[in-house]
């Protein structure tokens, strides 16, 4: 999928990847890769500024843990406002994608405008 | 190759040393985890692939720059609020100090005496603004805060702009 198109939705993608539970950066990227059927091919480093930005916005919290390998790693968790933001974005996205699908299929939508 | 990459990233993130330390630790963990998942027949080649997948360090640092700027602006905002409160407290303390020693309060300082009092109207609180404006002389503001202008000689008072 196009990188620019992905970047526009990166925050929602990261929030969605964390909806299944706390994870560190590498695990989040793997989760995105697996759940998207390997369709999303962003430079892996792009996820880290998004994680910091979402934490700054209060949508994620983080803590340092020591892995089995002995390395220190940062584990991110969705906060209550992060869960709400994900639900809001999911609703907007579903409305938007239904509208685009209708447009591309050439059908008239009976729902509300996106 | 991972060490060289981290060194370059550290160079690119030198605008914020605290953020740089956190990011470098996270990125090192990521790269080593990614390397552990690679076929290690040729370590150099595996490191090259891992670093390539991670992306350009300068592009990454550019994305962190806006995060760092937001953090700095927030801190600056907090400092400004604290400094404003401190100045107000100092002004109020000066009024109590004068009252305690029964010194006469300079006319331009009188609005501060009632600032923050719930019995005073909001318009009274706005009258503090011209008083602040009258005290724009730095030297005079310092003298006002720490000593009693009425105890000065006429020559000292005229130098500081008091009538």
pLDDT in tens, B119-139: 555 665 566 666 666 655 555
pLDDT class for B43, splitting at 50, 70, 90?
Answer: confident
In the sheet with A23-24, reading across from the earlier edge strand, the strands are A23-24, A72-78, A60-66
Residue B115 confidence (pLDDT) above 70: no
By CA distance, what is B27's nearest residue in A? Answer: A45
What pLDDT shows up at residue B163? 59
List of chain A residues whose C-beta atoms are within 8 Å of the C-beta of residue B57: 45
A31-48 average pLDDT score: 86
Q: How distant is the Cα of A93 from the closest Cα of chain B, in angstroms?
A: 25
Cβ burial, residue B158 (10 Å; 0-12/13-18/19+): exposed
pLDDT class for A105, splitting at 50, 70, 90?
Answer: confident
State chain A's mean pLDDT as an integer: 87
A10-33 average pLDDT score: 92
* Cα A86 from Cα A14, distance rounded (Å): 10
Cα distances from B14 to residues B4, B8, B10, in angstroms, run 15, 10, 6
pLDDT class for A62, splitting at 50, 70, 90?
Answer: very high
B135-150 average pLDDT score: 57
Identify the helix (H) or strand (E) that includes residue A60: strand A60-66
List of chain B residues whose C-beta atoms are within 8 Å of the C-beta of residue A14: none
Nearest to A81 by CA among A36, A23, A15: A15
Of residues B142 and B28, more confidence is placed in B28
* Cα A65 from Cα A59, distance rounded (Å): 20
State chain B's mean pLDDT as an integer: 79
Q: Do A45 and B55 touch (CB under 8 A)?
A: yes
Residue A114 confidence (pLDDT) above 60: no
Residue B75 confidence (pLDDT) above 70: yes
pTM: 0.67
pLDDT class for B28, splitting at 50, 70, 90?
Answer: very high
What pLDDT shows up at residue A6? 72
């Amino acid at each position: 999928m196009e990188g620019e198109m992905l970047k526009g939705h990166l925050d929602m993608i990261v929030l969605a990847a964390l909806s299944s539970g706390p994870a560190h950066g590498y695990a989040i990227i793997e989760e995105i890769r697996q759940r998207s059927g390997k369709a999303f091919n962003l430079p892996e480093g792009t996820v880290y500024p998004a994680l910091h930005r979402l934490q700054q916005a209060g949508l994620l919290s983080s803590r340092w843990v020591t892995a089995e390998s002995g390395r220190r790693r940062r584990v991110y968790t969705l906060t209550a406002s992060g869960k709400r933001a994900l639900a809001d974005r999911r609703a907007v996205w579903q409305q938007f994608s239904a509208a685009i699908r209708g447009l591309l299929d050439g059908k008239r939508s009976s729902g509300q405008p996106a | 190759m991972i060490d060289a990459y981290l060194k370059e990233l550290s160079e690119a993130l030198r605008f914020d040393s605290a953020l740089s330390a956190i990011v470098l630790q996270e990125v090192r963990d990521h790269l080593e985890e990614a390397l552990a998942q690679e076929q290690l027949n040729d370590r150099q080649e595996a490191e090259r692939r891992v670093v390539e997948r991670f992306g350009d360090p300068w592009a990454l640092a550019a994305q962190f720059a806006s995060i760092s700027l937001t953090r700095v602006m927030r801190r600056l905002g907090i400092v400004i609020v604290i400094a404003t409160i401190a100045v107000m407290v100092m002004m109020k303390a000066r009024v109590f100090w004068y009252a305690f020693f029964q010194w006469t309060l300079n006319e331009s300082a009188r609005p501060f005496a009632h600032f923050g009092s719930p019995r005073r109207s909001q318009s009274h609180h706005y009258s503090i603004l011209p008083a602040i404006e009258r005290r724009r002389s730095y030297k005079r503001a310092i003298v006002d805060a720490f000593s009693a202008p009425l105890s000065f000689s006429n020559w000292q008072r005229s130098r500081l702009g008091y009538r």
